[in-house]
Amino acid sequence: MDLQRRETWQKLLHLPARKRAEIWQIVCKEEVFCYTENMFKRRFLQPTDNLFSEADKEDQTFLFYLDDDYPALLREIPYAPPVLFYRGNRSVLSKKTISFVGPRYASDYGREATHFLIRGLRQTNWAIVSGLAKGIDTSAHQAASQVGLMTIAILGAGFGHIYPAENRPLFQEIAESGLALTEYTFHTRPRKWHFPDRNRLISGISKGTVVVAAREQSGSLITAYSALEQNREVFAVPGRIFDQEERGCHRLIQEGAKLIFNSAHIIEEID
């Protein structure tokens, strides 16, 4: 079995997404891509694991790590997914990308700041990346659409379980005019541990990450620190010193993230 062939990975889609990424990292590091089935089982699987399974027909539209249009920036990160399922227009991946993250329960200020910053990027022709969650993610996707920028949604579940359910219409819009990506097979339900893994892809696919608002312990900070570990730019929007939702951004600024209050501050670092 040759792990440099798409056909092999079509038969390994039953493996958990994290397991697939770990296998790919190991074989790339050791530069050993060909195994007999018994060698592969002994090295990577438990005795009770089924090596091959029939892939769900819904899962056939995927990007493979060695495809020409697999996101180049993702190839640089630890535990890059060997397989990314997609819905939409793969050509979006040729664009420069910037991600926006923030809380699910966003303030009016956070939503307004997101729309303001993305409006300022409308002449760049960049793609806007976020995670299809409520709050700032939703605002980022919507703002991109409103100003004519393409948007990429990265999900923490399979396409058969859009989360949150209220964003199914937004998902359909993105799948028709932008791009949706996930490393999870079609019927995989959202689990809380999927979202930190998803966050590494949001930052990894992007030249920089804009943190609009964040509590001191939040998923937005996980994304920001992933970006720093991946040698990406991190931008933080300042807020009220009395607001708990802004303290994560203020801590990032103290630690060296670039304070921004207009889009020019992003463009001058990314262009």
Sequence ranges of the domains in the chain: 6-85, 90-270
pLDDT of 252 > 70? The answer is yes
pLDDT of 240 > 90? The answer is no
Tokens standing for residue 41: 């089982």
Under the banding of pLDDT at 50, 70 and 90, the label for residue 253 is: very high
Tokens standing for residue 132: 């299809």
- With pLDDT > 70 as the criterion, what percentage of the chain qualifies? 97
d(CA 137, CA 110): 11
d(CA 229, CA 30): 23
CATH architecture classification, 90-270: 3-Layer(aba) Sandwich (3.40)
Average pLDDT over every residue of 212-228: 90
pLDDT tens-digit series, residues 105-154: 989 999 999 999 999 999 999 999 999 999 999 999 999 999 999 999 99
pLDDT computed for residue 59 by the predictor: 64
Average pLDDT over every residue of 32-45: 92
Residue pair 13/21 in contact by the 8 Å Cβ criterion: no
pLDDT of 57 > 70? The answer is no
pLDDT tens-digit series, residues 64-101: 999 999 999 999 999 999 999 999 999 999 999 999 99
d(CA 191, CA 161): 11
- Give the number of other CB atoms < 10 A from CB of residue 95: 16
Residue reference for tokens 């930052």: 203
Under the banding of pLDDT at 50, 70 and 90, the label for residue 58 is: low
pLDDT of 24 > 80? The answer is yes
pTM of the model: 0.93
